[in-house]
Amino acid sequence: MLDHRLAPEHEELRRTVAEFARDVIAPKIGEYYEHEEFPYEIIREMGRMGLFGLPFPEEYGGMGGDYLALCLVLEEIARVDSSVAITLEAAVSLGAMPIHRYGTEEQKRTWLPRLCSGELLGAFGLTEPEGGSDAGATRTTARYDADTDEWVINGSKCFITNAGTEITGLVTVAALTLSSELDEQGSPRREISTIIVPTGTPGFSASKKYSKVGWNASDTRELSFADCRVPAANLLGEAGRGYAQFLRILDEGRIAIAALATGLAQGCVDESLSYAAQRRAFGRPIGSNQSIQFKIADMEMRAHTSRLAWYHAASLLVHGERFKKEAAIAKLFSSEAAVSNAREATQIHGGYGFMNEYPVARFWRDSKILEIGEGTSEVQRMLIARELGMSDSRP
C-alpha cells in the first residue's frame, strides 16, 4: 500500500518552514517584488536555517536530509511566494547538486560548505539563445589548452537563475569539447562537458537583469564567455558526460518544480478561501455562492492531486528507483494546475485580483513560467510517451 504520510522529522520541517513563510516571507516579499529587488535579507535567514544544505551530507556542511525534504520546503515557500522558492530550488538542485553528484572530493570540499550555508549561490548554465528545449543544441565551446592546462570557454547562455547576485559564487557551464574519438571524417568528435566557472573569472560576465513578467524578486540573466580561462581541474565529472549529467539533474529538478507549482496552486486556494469568506456581494459572502464553491473545490482538487504526484516521484527518487516518467507527470500536471488555479483565484478576486497588492496577482504572473522552465509541457508529454515505449515521430 502506498502511504504518503510524512515521517515525524519531515512533518516538523514542513511546519517550521510554513511558519517561516507565513511570518517572515509573506509580510516582506511584496515590496521586494514591486521594486524587482533580490531579497538578500530573506535569503540570509534561510541560510541560517540550513535550507540550502537540506539534501547534502553533513560532512560537506549539509543537513543530511533528502530530496523529499527539499521539495516539502519548496512547496511551503511557494505557497506564499515563488521568487524566493525558485531562488532556493535553483541554488540547490541546479547550483549545488551537480557538484554533489559529479564533483571530485576537492571540488565538493571547496564549494559545498559555502553553498550549503547560503553564503554563496550556484547557477547552472545550460540554456542558450538558439537552444531552448533542444538542450543538445549547445554552441558554447570549451577548448583545452595543453600549454596552460586550462579550459578556454566561449559562448553565451540565457535565462540563468541566480547568475548575477552579489553572492553568486559559480556557474556550471555546459560546453562543447573535443573527444579523443574520431568521427567518420577522421576529425575529433564533439561532445558536451560541464565545467565550473567561478564568479569573477576574467572573460565571464553577466548581463543586467531581465525585465520579466513574473518571479520579479529572483535573479535571472544572460551570461557571456569570451576566452574565459579556468583550470582543467574545474571539469565536473568525466569529459563528454555532460549531456547525461544534466539530463539526470533536470529529471530531479522537475520534481522540485512540481513541488513549487503545487505550493503556488495551494496558495491560490488559501487566498481564495479567505477572500470568499470576507468579500460580500448582494448582502452575503461570495463564498456562499455555489459557483465560487465549485471553483475553489476544483482548485483544491488540482493542488491535492499535484501533491500526490510529486510525493510519488520524490519517493521513487529517494528509494533509488526509476523516476523519469513520474517526474515528468508531476511537473506537467502541477504546472498546468498552478496556471489554472492562478486564473481562477484572480477571477474569484475580481478587480482586486488585478491589483498587485493582492498575492493572487503575483501568483498569476508567476504561474506561466512553470509550464516552460526545466522542460516545457510539450517536452514533458514527449518524455512520458517515450517512457511508455512509444517511438519518436521525427524522421
Residues serving a catalytic function are 374
**Residue 58 three-state SS:** helix
Quick one: DSSP state of residue 388?
T
Distances in Å between the Cα of 97 and the Cα atoms of 40, 67, 82, 370 are 22, 10, 20, 21
Burial annotation 29-40 (CB, 10 A radius, 16+ → b, else e): bbebbeebebbe
Which residues fall within 8 angstroms of residue 367, CB to CB, at 6 or more apart? Answer: 214, 261, 264, 335, 338, 339, 341, 342
Please give the grid coordinates belonging to residue 130. Answer: 538558439
- Please, where are the H alpha helices in the chain? 8-20, 26-34, 40-48, 67-78, 82-89, 97-102, 105-117, 242-278, 290-318, 324-349, 359-367, 377-387
Please give the grid coordinates belonging to residue 69. Answer: 525534504
Pairing verdict, β 235-236 and 168-182 = unpaired
Burial annotation 164-176 (CB, 10 A radius, 16+ → b, else e): bbebbbbbbbbbb
Distances in Å between the Cα of 61 and the Cα atoms of 100, 144, 321 are 12, 32, 26
- Asked whether the beta carbons of 310 and 303 are under 8 A apart, the reply is no
- Asked whether the beta carbons of 394 and 347 are under 8 A apart, the reply is no
Question: What's the rounded Cα separation, in Å, for the pair 62 and 42?
Answer: 19
Does residue 218 come out as left (phi exceeding 0), alpha (psi in the -120 to 50 range) or beta?
Answer: beta
Question: What's the rounded Cα separation, in Å, for the pair 226 and 1?
Answer: 55
Place of cell 532556493: 88
Using alpha carbons only, give the angle 322, 324, 327 rounded to the nearest 5 degrees.
115
